[in-house]
Amino acid sequence: MSAPALEHPPPVARLDGAPRRLPKGASDPISQRGGGCECDRSKGAIVLFYAYVPIADPASLVTELRATCGSNGVTGKLRIGREGINGTAAGNHVGIDAMIDALASCAREPRLAAAAKSLDYKHAPGCACLFDDLSVRLVPEIVPFEPSAGGAKSARKKRRGGRHATIGGDDDGDERGTETDASAPSAPSAPVPCPVGYLDPRDFHDAVRNRAASASTSDVVILDVRNWYESRVGHFEGAALAPIRRFSQLPEYVESNKTLFHGKDVLMYCTGGVRCEKAARYLASLGENDGGGEEKNGDDAGVTGRPRSVRQLRGGIVAYARDVLGAEAGAEAGAETKSAYKGLNFVFDNRGAVPVTSDVVTWCDGCGARSNRLGKCGGFGCHVILVVCEACGGGNGDANGEARVFCCGSCEAQTIARETTPGAKRKRKPCECDGYESRRRRLLPTPTPGSVGQARSWRVI
């Protein structure tokens, strides 16, 4: 089944006057596997959902949902823009039902209301404690993919073919953008269309297994489009893990690895599916402005990175765990042997990460021991998410940034300088870990020799 084209109206600015959710310079804490409350989570739920559907008046929808969720004790993060809605919400069943009813009965947004009636609201047991508060915001994109600064215009033209173009292209591969001048020179031949579609979780499972069993895996690429700290603690077997810190860096990774995707069948996945919608169409659009693979010089002649096909995991990892492994995937007997996904599923709420299987696929940034316990860099103003084992975390058990494990030597050095220099009020400088090579190392199955425990990197003090 082919994926529908995404309509991408002009972006809107963030809602003026929206309160800051956290103090400036702060970031969300990590509370792994629980959240610490004593609620009976069978009486509530956490739901993950999104819809790419044009919204005429997103500001009014923000106000309406903020009131509905607030009056029904629902917490979470809802992002609303002209291109649609993306949300994770938690609360008791009455509150969650009230939010869903508000979406499905929104008279001023008939297209959203129609879509809301058939959305896959991915439910899991939960309560309002899984979020510290309710954040409903008006945003330019419901999941940020456009570059925030520097090169935005050129990147946009290369990726979308025009300001108001549909991301990734229509299913039939028609050209998009402004009207063409009949007197202009004829355009180069169009590239071969790259079909974009979905695979249901069970079909995706079979495709991953078939690739693993095949004598040759070179024609099929499994791509994890999540951030490196997400894919690091859990991923599908054989997947390419992009060393990106934010979703908007994915094009940079693809541009540097065109041969990995060019002419291949790509199986793509993310947490719940919302990022894949944009990533799939971006991949399918590669080469649209290059003349369909016109002759070039060098080893990369004609290599645009454009895949032969792109298929998304419908509903993401959350749906895979639900539909293939069962509701209690981590506790199900034999889940480890039949799951093509290994490890944890990183989530953006107080659970931190949800077990899909008991496999530990990564290692502590402090000592290199096998671990999947999440923590944060101990550096001043640094919010990099690390893996910090119980020993390196000082036994504090919450991994909320108390551990003195640093992401890199430069972060450690400037933090110590600030702490040991009387009256120092140094502004944080970018550290050396914000680079592909550092993130790539952390995605390896085991630490590289000498990379852990040295003064310049991952040291515990």
pLDDT tens track for 58-72: 999 999 999 999 999
Alpha carbons 323 and 98: distance in angstroms, whole number: 25
Can you tell me the mean pLDDT for 304-325? Answer: 95
Rounded to whole angstroms, the Cα distance separating 124 from 317 reads 13
DSSP 193: P
Taking Cα atoms as reference points, which of 313, 247, 314 lies closest to residue 282?
Answer: 247
How does DSSP assign 16-54, residue by residue? TTPPPSS-TT------TTS-S----GGGEEEEEEEE---
- For residue 448, the model assigns a pLDDT of 56
Report the 10 Å Cβ neighbour count for 250: 21
How far lies 420's CA from each of 9, 126, 411, 424, in Å?
51, 44, 14, 8
Query: Which segment of 56-65, 88-97, 249-258 scores lowest on mean pLDDT?
Result: 249-258
In the predicted structure, residue 322 carries a pLDDT above the cut 80: yes
Check whether 120 has a pLDDT greater than 50: yes
The amino acid present at 142, given as its one-letter code, is: I
Q: Fill in the amino acid letter for 398.
A: D
Q: Distances in Å between the alpha carbon of 29 and those of 9, 178, 346?
A: 34, 45, 13
Backbone phi, then psi, for 274, in 5-degree steps? -70, -35
pLDDT of 235 > 50? The answer is yes
Distances (CA, A) of 238 to 212, 218, 304: 7, 11, 23
- DSSP 8-state class, residue 440: H
Percent of the chain with pLDDT over 90: 51
Confidence of residue 455 (pLDDT cuts 50, 70, 90): very low
Is the CB of residue 331 less than 8 Å from the CB of residue 358?
no
Between CA 298 and CA 251, with CA 220 as vertex, the angle to 5 degrees is: 55
Q: Does 274 have pLDDT greater than 90?
A: yes
Residue 149 or residue 356, greater confidence:
356
| CB contact at 8 A, 50 and 87 | yes
Nearest to 128 by CA among 80, 100, 95, 99: 95
Confidence check: pLDDT of 295 > 80: no
pLDDT score of 395: 45
Cα–Cα dist 158/288, whole Å: 8
Taking CA atoms, 423 is separated from 87, 132, 380, 410, 412, in Å, by 43, 34, 15, 20, 18
Rounded Cα gap, residues 250 and 253, in angstroms:
5
The tokens for 80 are 């609303």
Two structure tokens written together for 140: 């330019």
Q: Residue written as tokens 């450690």? A: 412
Percent of the chain with pLDDT over 70: 69
- Return mean pLDDT, the chain: 78
- Pairing mode, strands 220-224 and 240-241: parallel
pLDDT of residue 414: 85
Domains and CATH numbers, the chain: 1-142 (3.30.70.100), 145-171+191-290+302-354 (3.40.250.10), 362-461 (no CATH)
At 439, the pLDDT band (50, 70, 90 cuts) reads: confident
Position 459 scores a pLDDT of 28
Strand partners, 76: 89, 134
Residue 336: pLDDT band with limits 50, 70, 90: low
- pLDDT of 378: 84
The catalytic site residues sit at 270
Give the CA count within 13 Å in the CB-facing half-sphere of 356.
28
Using pLDDT thresholds of 50, 70 and 90, give the confidence band for residue 162: very low
What burial class does residue 302 get, using C-beta atoms within 10 Å of its C-beta: 0-12 exposed, 13-18 middle, 19+ buried? middle
> pLDDT value at position 176?
27
Is 0.75 topped by the overall pTM? yes
Predicted confidence (pLDDT) at residue 33 exceeds the cutoff of 70: no
* pLDDT value of residue 25: 52
